Structure 1
Amino acid sequence: MAQGTAPAPEHTPGHASRHGRESFYIEGEGVVGSTDPGAAPPTTARANTTAARGPALAAAPTFRFSRLGPPGVRLPETTLRKVALAMTGGPVVDGTIPAGFTYLGQFVDHDLTFDATTVAFGDSVSPAALLQGRSPTLDLDSLYGAGPLDGVSADFYEADRTRLKVGRTTKIGGDRARVGFDVPRVGGPGAGRGKAAIPDRRNDENLVVAQTHAAMIRFHNRVVAGLGPATPPAERFEKARRKVVLHYQWMLRTDYLPKICDGDVVTDVFTNGRKVVDPGADPLTMPTMPVEFSVAAFRLGHAMVREAYDWNARFPDGSGSLDLLFFFSGTSGGVGNGDPTLPSNWIADWRRLYRFSQVGHDELKPPPGEFNLARRIDTRLVDPLAALPKGSFDGSVSDEATIRANLAFRNLVRARMLRLASGQQMAELLRASGVPVTTLTRAQLRDGAGGPGSAQLDSLTDAQRDAFLADTPLWFYVLREAELNDGRLTGVGARLVVETFHRAMEGSTHSIVRNPGFRPDLGEKDGRFRMADLLLVAFEGQEALLAPLGD
């Protein structure tokens, strides 16, 4: 760690694979799924920990899922193996979406699937609290936990019970220690040294999402600072949180979703409402998480991951490899093995991840050729995702370098375990619900867009290919739709993603869906608030803070 570099880590890429669940509590069905091939069963220690937190908590389902479509066909694993190898072999291509949105999507995924009961409620848990704590909303619970007055979550806050604690980087070479450029971490000796002291440690499983979390902490604290002395101390936290959440949701609605999804679908859902995800639900009831979204449609981010990044002035020209971005975290890598915090030479240069020119700041740009684009959303994943190390999915040594370590295979097998509806079944369901989607043809599913980034099914036998094209796994189907739409979700995929976001916002404590008159007042232009605007607020509009290591 002396030079702020490291060998390939034990726990590396996987975007969502480290915490991918293998069983799901689906309303009306109970627990569905089984232990994934190669995965170890739950340990006695883990079971005892859950039971120790109280009988209600130990007996409760871990998260509330729902199923939108009918059960699908289970294709043979031999077929899925061949498809997975086709998806993780061969060239990939850049898309048009800035690379920061890959990991903003991961941050959002953790917000949607955050289990608040892991940091709150103690041993006395009411059924209502369990539903509240284990339901998908976009309230930034992964940032705030249960709030500053909760006995456990209070540790995430400063003494004023309003501002969130910030982290501090470690001096290395000529790069001095800096406050506010890392997530807060556990210091001192012991097993927890270097781990992130935040409500959801999944946000420390790679450096990009950890830096995103640190930026969100800064954003909250800047909003607090802007409240002024007229706001009573007892009201400052809730007022700040409400402002932060509403601006965050507005950014997702107007910036993130239109980048990854067909903009017409986004506009239609937010104007005319939902057709398949809890249509007509009481807005004040708690949402559930559709398995079709969680296990298939929102795994689009796996296709966006790059194998290397032009990270900052110290690690330009693709030297910020995916392995290193996982190493410099406390969950998947080595932070805490030496220094207890992030080395200063690994602070993000946000100019390389988001386009500030789109919000009127042409001066905030990296050196020529150093901007990172996400890989196009299509049916090819970068090569490192074909060989996950055992630590990223709780596997064993014997799993490494086998198909069990292939992320595409794991996604396909997980959907098979759940008998997830096929892409064709979901297209039919959408049409029956009044959504005018067109089912992809066999030729479109077989050939895709062709060229780099397009998985080909030549390795399948005629019988395997016929079965696959008749009942195409939803994840592959959604990615093929995007591939044929120049890298943006459309049809089935776009509808599932946008409607799930809409329902999650509607069911949130603070909601732009239930408050249609809301308009952002942060940022530099009334009515606009993009992720670049959020970062400008968080880092005070200063290039020296957005890119503290310079060019």
Structure 2
Amino acid sequence: MPHGDADQGIRTPKSTFYDQGRFGRLFPALPGFAADTPTVRAALVQLGRPGGPMDTNESPTADPFALIVDPTLSVDNPDNPRLTAGMTFLGQFLDHDMTFDPTSSLARTQDPESLRNFRIPALDLDSVYGGGPGVSPHLYDQSVDHGRTTMLVEPNAGSEAVCIDGVVRYDVPRNAQGTALIGDPRNDENLIVDQLHLAFLRFHNRVVADVRDDLGPLATPGELFAEAQRIARWHYQWMILHEFLPLTCGDALVADILTNGRKFYRWRNSPYIPVEFSVAAYRFGHSQVRPSYRANFGTSATDRTLQFFAVIFDHTATGTDPADLRGGCRAPRRFIDWQTFFDFGGGQVRRNKRIDTKLSSALFHLLGQPSDEPDSLAIRNLVRGLTMEVPSGQRVAAAMQETPLHESELADLEPFGLHKRTPLWFYVLREADVRAGGEHLGPVGGRIVAEVFHGLIDGDPSSYLSQDPDWTPTYGTDDEFGITDLLTAAGVVGALA
């Protein structure tokens, strides 16, 4: 991975105020949780290694269906009664809309103030829209309004023969080599977030059609696009504040922020991305990934032998239609039936994994990593917290005037010397487990995540909070709007009968 611009061991003066496009710190006075020494690195590697204490240790040869229905094959993947399976991937989509850091290094100490965030730190769907029709014409359908209003999507040929309703499914656009032509290539990392990206493309197109009807024939393509983009963005922001955050951070905490404001996330010029968020707290979603999923029902809502089950990643899978759920492929069966991932009321939804310090085994063998870097996601997260000098969970809790976890609640870290100075990412996971039963984030992790999300929307001059805080959605019901409403409006929820 290319190195950033900061010299090793040199840190610029810390400040809570940052320019747009930079990373920064919520708690600049706090030191990193440990010095970057070979001993500390070795401890982190042992903690995050494949087969180590953070690995759920599923059998690599287990049947994907059995991993879902047989608890004995996946004892460290308990169900979360609060969250459904799709929330993991919605969270991944949100992450890609906020941050993109291709320059930081796992090999040396980094100053976040020297790192460029190549994604605008806002929740404005620039991962979908790119630079707009003029700057990113390859993302737009040139057959409609000369490519000035409508996102490009493509039919998945043959999918109509392998789905229940016999209606063709769609895919994101791809070039001749199968590479996704989308605003953020990371959204083609796995089939689920890829199809979620497609849903946002089609939601925008639905809004364009409705705006065209509302404004009439005199509206210019520029007016159509701008109004549809505004409506799509505002619904997206509403969904984040009123559904995603309460579910993942806790209803009471989010209600407090919406009513009384933020306590710790502040800026002078424009919002930024704190490393306590991007390198630690918001990586809680890695703990929620299941080893396998039902991608779709195939041609039967009841016969599992006709349905598409697969592990999330399998480094041995090959071909143009691999037996896992990686992205980057188009084949008739590679589509998502969202009834498994979000609750549409038909009893088909599956639960998310509880938030704890265990990660599914597939995440210890990531695909496509450079040969000189670890392919364990746990190691990568832990070492990144070291190189970015993220403070310990205990120090952050004290700074937030929250009661820190007791050493006895971190006793399993004592052999690594990390029970008194715990990496913030691990601390947030353990806090969620012991303080919230793994159903949502605890007081430290939840406040970091919720305040940053709220601040990014509040600090965006084009957001609904800035322009019309009393606005309510029009695509949901009873002035509410959630992910199931978005998917339904986008026309991506196939019938199961």
TM bucket normalised to smaller: 0.7 to 0.9
Structure-2 residue corresponding to 1:44: none
Q: Which blocks of at least 5 consecutive residues in structure 1 are unaligned? A: 1-19, 33-60, 117-129, 188-192, 358-363, 432-436, 447-455, 540-544
SS at match of 1:294: helix
Alpha-carbon distance in 1 for matches of 2:277, 2:470: 28
Q: Aligned pair 1:372/2:358, yes or no?
A: no
CA contact under 8 A between 1:25 and 1:64: conserved in structure 2?
Answer: no
Residue 510 to residue 216, structure 1, CA distance change in 2 (3 Å): same
Alpha-carbon distance in 2 for matches of 1:225, 1:310: 32
Cα displacement (A) at 1:445: 2.5
Cα displacement (A) at 1:230: 4.5
CA contact under 8 A between 2:296 and 2:308: conserved in structure 1?
Answer: no
Among 170, 195, 198, the residue aligned to 2:179: 195
Residue 95 to residue 289, structure 1, CA distance change in 2 (3 Å): same
Cα displacement (A) at 1:322: 0.9
Count of residue correspondences: 429
Structure-2 residue corresponding to 1:86: 53
Q: Aligned pair 1:322/2:312, yes or no?
A: yes
CA contact under 8 A between 1:114 and 1:141: conserved in structure 2?
Answer: no
Q: Aligned pair 1:146/2:106, yes or no?
A: no
Alpha-carbon distance in 1 for matches of 2:5, 2:428: 21
CA contact under 8 A between 1:378 and 1:479: conserved in structure 2?
Answer: yes
Give runs of aligned pairs for residues 334-353 of structure 1, distance below 5 A.
342-353=330-341
Alpha-carbon distance in 1 for matches of 2:263, 2:326: 46
Q: Which blocks of at least 5 consecutive residues in structure 2 are unaligned? A: 58-75, 103-114, 299-303
Cα displacement (A) at 1:513: 2.6
Give runs of aligned pairs for residues 300-315 of structure 1, distance below 5 A.
300-314=284-298
Cα displacement (A) at 1:395: 2.5
Q: Aligned pair 1:547/2:491, yes or no?
A: no
Among 487, 490, 494, the residue aligned to 2:446: 494
Cα displacement (A) at 1:319: 2.4
Q: Aligned pair 1:215/2:209, yes or no?
A: no
Structure-1 residue corresponding to 2:31: 71
RMSD, matched Cα: 3.3
Cα displacement (A) at 1:486: 1.6
Alpha-carbon distance in 2 for matches of 1:394, 1:62: 30
Alpha-carbon distance in 1 for matches of 2:321, 2:271: 32
Q: Aligned pair 1:430/2:400, yes or no?
A: yes
Q: Per-residue displacement from partner, 1:186-243 (whole Å, max 9, x unpaired)? A: 13xxxxx111111111111110000000011111111111114452123111101111
CA contact under 8 A between 2:84 and 2:343: conserved in structure 1?
Answer: yes
Residue 335 to residue 310, structure 1, CA distance change in 2 (3 Å): closer
Cα displacement (A) at 1:476: 0.7
Cα displacement (A) at 1:133: 6.6
CA contact under 8 A between 1:292 and 1:420: conserved in structure 2?
Answer: yes
Structure-2 residue corresponding to 1:103: 89
TM-score of the pair, normalised by structure 1: 0.71
Alpha-carbon distance in 1 for matches of 2:327, 2:364: 25
Alpha-carbon distance in 2 for matches of 1:344, 1:74: 50
Q: Per-residue displacement from partner, 1:9-38 (whole Å, max 9, x unpaired)? A: xxxxxxxxxxx9974879x94699xxxxxx
TM-score of the pair, normalised by structure 2: 0.78
Give runs of aligned pairs for residues 413-452 of structure 1, distance below 5 A.
413-431=383-401, 437-446=402-411
CA contact under 8 A between 1:207 and 1:329: conserved in structure 2?
Answer: no
Cα displacement (A) at 1:83: 2.3
Alpha-carbon distance in 1 for matches of 2:167, 2:251: 40
Give runs of aligned pairs for residues 171-186 of structure 1, distance below 5 A.
171=158, 174-175=161-162, 181-186=170-175
Cα displacement (A) at 1:300: 0.7
CA contact under 8 A between 1:379 and 1:479: conserved in structure 2?
Answer: yes
Q: Aligned pair 1:529/2:493, yes or no?
A: no
CA contact under 8 A between 1:502 and 1:513: conserved in structure 2?
Answer: no
SS at match of 1:236: helix
SS at match of 2:80: strand
Alpha-carbon distance in 2 for matches of 1:222, 1:178: 18
Alpha-carbon distance in 2 for matches of 1:89, 1:22: 32
Letter in 1 for 2:249: C
Cα displacement (A) at 1:492: 0.9
Cα displacement (A) at 1:131: 9.0
CA contact under 8 A between 2:122 and 2:456: conserved in structure 1?
Answer: yes
CA contact under 8 A between 1:22 and 1:414: conserved in structure 2?
Answer: no
Identity of aligned residues (%): 37
Alpha-carbon distance in 2 for matches of 1:329, 1:518: 44
Residue 22 to residue 503, structure 1, CA distance change in 2 (3 Å): farther
Residue 507 to residue 395, structure 1, CA distance change in 2 (3 Å): farther
Cα displacement (A) at 1:268: 1.2
Alpha-carbon distance in 2 for matches of 1:469, 1:427: 14
Cα displacement (A) at 1:179: 5.9
Cα displacement (A) at 1:386: 2.1
Alpha-carbon distance in 1 for matches of 2:393, 2:453: 20
Residue 107 to residue 334, structure 1, CA distance change in 2 (3 Å): closer
CA contact under 8 A between 1:307 and 1:383: conserved in structure 2?
Answer: yes
Alpha-carbon distance in 2 for matches of 1:259, 1:333: 25
CA contact under 8 A between 2:276 and 2:448: conserved in structure 1?
Answer: yes
Structure-2 residue corresponding to 1:58: none
Letter in 1 for 2:86: G
Structure-1 residue corresponding to 2:280: 296
Letter in 2 for 1:321: V
